[in-house]
Amino acid sequence: MAPVDGVTGGGAEGGAERPAERVVGVGPWEGPWPDDPRYDPELLRDGDRRNVVDRYRYWSNEAVVADLDTRRHPLHVAVENHQHDANIGSIVRTANAANVAGVHVVGAKRWNRRGAMVTDRYLSVHHHPDAEALAAWAAQRDLPLVGVDNVEGSVPLETYDLPRGCVLLFGQEGPGLSPEALARCRAVLAIGQYGSTRSINVGAAAAVAVHAWVRRHVFGQVPHPPS
């Protein structure tokens, strides 16, 4: 098998060295091909330059999804989509990193996939026309909606004991969660900020909130009020 994540580089004019460029992935399979249905013949032949962890090298997308499905976390991530927000792709990428049960796009069905870096291939993306529809979907599965926005009445994310099964709901960059969404949340959480800006980027907020869930339910770190 070819080496993973190699680097390439070379001398520039005048003898100066150019910075080495990292080559992600592996080249064509070396040696007899494996007798395993999870492997993709085209990837074995051409190499695998996808942004996947090493255990999934040469696996077909379908095989990767099937394996992830065996160990999804019971967390869902939802985001309102009223302005074709470019941050939605970043939120999807974060959701993939945490291997959540699903991502939910609320509002416009089309969303900006660029920031997802094709990670939407590896998880389920659901669409709901509005917050009411999302709330109905979640209620049928006994999943509370937990909003993330620094609005009046919100409570600190850092001290809130996130449910194991829940839907973390994020709003648009700028306006935040809509009034309709806020009205349907069991709780609304705010991320602690200590600088001059009013809010942090919604993609960054999603990463912070999802990792708070990971700390609680993967590492067992129960939040406590500040001393």
Beta strands in 94-196 (DSSP E): 100-107, 125-128, 145-148, 155-156, 166-170, 187-190
Domains observed in the chain: 6-67 (no CATH), 72-217 (3.40.1280.10)
Angle at 162 between CA 161 and CA 163, to 5 degrees: 115
Asked if residues 224 and 110 have their Cβ atoms less than 8 Å apart, the reply is no
Buried-exposed string 10-36: b where 16+ CB fall within 10 A, e elsewhere: eeeeeeeeeeeeeeebbeebeeeeeee
Q: Which two tokens stand for residue 75?
A: 């967390």
- What pLDDT score does 198 carry? 84
pLDDT by residue for the chain (227 residues), tens only, comes to 444 444 444 545 555 666 666 778 999 999 999 999 999 999 999 999 999 999 999 999 999 999 999 999 999 999 999 887 789 999 999 999 999 999 999 999 999 899 999 999 999 999 999 999 999 999 999 999 999 999 999 999 999 999 999 999 999 888 899 999 999 999 999 999 999 988 899 999 999 999 999 999 999 999 988 77
Q: Answer left, alpha or beta for residue 90, where phi above 0 means left and psi between -120 and 50 means alpha.
A: alpha
